[in-house]
Structure 1
């Protein structure tokens, strides 16, 4: 028999709790995530202060969210690699470097979109 809380609203509530814990833990443990959020806050205000077409506004908001999502995924990659072991391994380095590169690419995309929109 299936647990009633494993479907519907119960599952949604548990998933929301997991997500919240992930955000709070990342905020507490990752300086890069805090920096990106704090630098993104004035940009968020600017997005709504500027006279922009709705599509331009949506694109700027989406790329800001994209940066944060990629940073969360990079944090997850780093946590898993660190969990596997502290010994240096080429694949561990590759995973961490690729995660870092993904963050850099997301930031470059965000900057490029701002340049194009403005």
Structure 2
């Protein structure tokens, strides 16, 4: 069940718990309705443990894991933009199309960044230059 707003009559701990619940609902909705998100989560399940194993230092591990996490985050934002655009109108509108294209471009850039981070950290180990 989707939320409408926070219950402002509760204390900060209750609001944090509500926010956590809403976040979990969002992740569940992304998993149920977004094929791209499901694919990226499955890739993350493979690549995040690899990042921990392959990273030579904590910084390398954080860069490798963080690049995958950033892709997931941007995919969630893109999915939110697309859902909002579809809720406004399913008919073609240039600004809604632009919003969807910009969200997609953000996912592409996050993916290219992740690939560049992985390549720059791992390729020199196998192909020293």
Q: TM-score range by the shorter chain?
A: over 0.9
The normalised TM-score by structure 1 is: 0.93
Runs of 4+ in 1 over 3 A off after TM superposition: none
The answer to whether residue 65 in structure 2 is matched with residue 65 in structure 1 is no
For residue 113 of structure 1, what is the aligned residue in structure 2? 117
For residue 101 of structure 2, what is the aligned residue in structure 1? 97
Q: Tell me, in whole angstroms, the C-alpha distance in 1 between the residues paired with 2:100 and 2:54.
A: 37
CA drift of 1:42 comes to 1.1
Mapped contact 2:55–2:61 kept (Cα < 8 A): no
Query: How many pairs align?
Result: 115
Q: 1:86 to 1:51 in 2, by over 3 A?
A: closer
Higher relative contact order (CA 8 A, sep 6+): 1
The normalised TM-score by structure 2 is: 0.86
Q: Tell me, in whole angstroms, the C-alpha distance in 1 between the residues paired with 2:73 and 2:55.
A: 26
Q: Tell me, in whole angstroms, the C-alpha distance in 2 between the residues paired with 1:58 and 1:117.
A: 12
CA drift of 1:50 comes to 2.0
Q: Residue 30 of structure 2 is aligned with which of 13, 26, 29?
A: 26
Q: Tell me, in whole angstroms, the C-alpha distance in 2 between the residues paired with 1:51 and 1:93.
A: 39
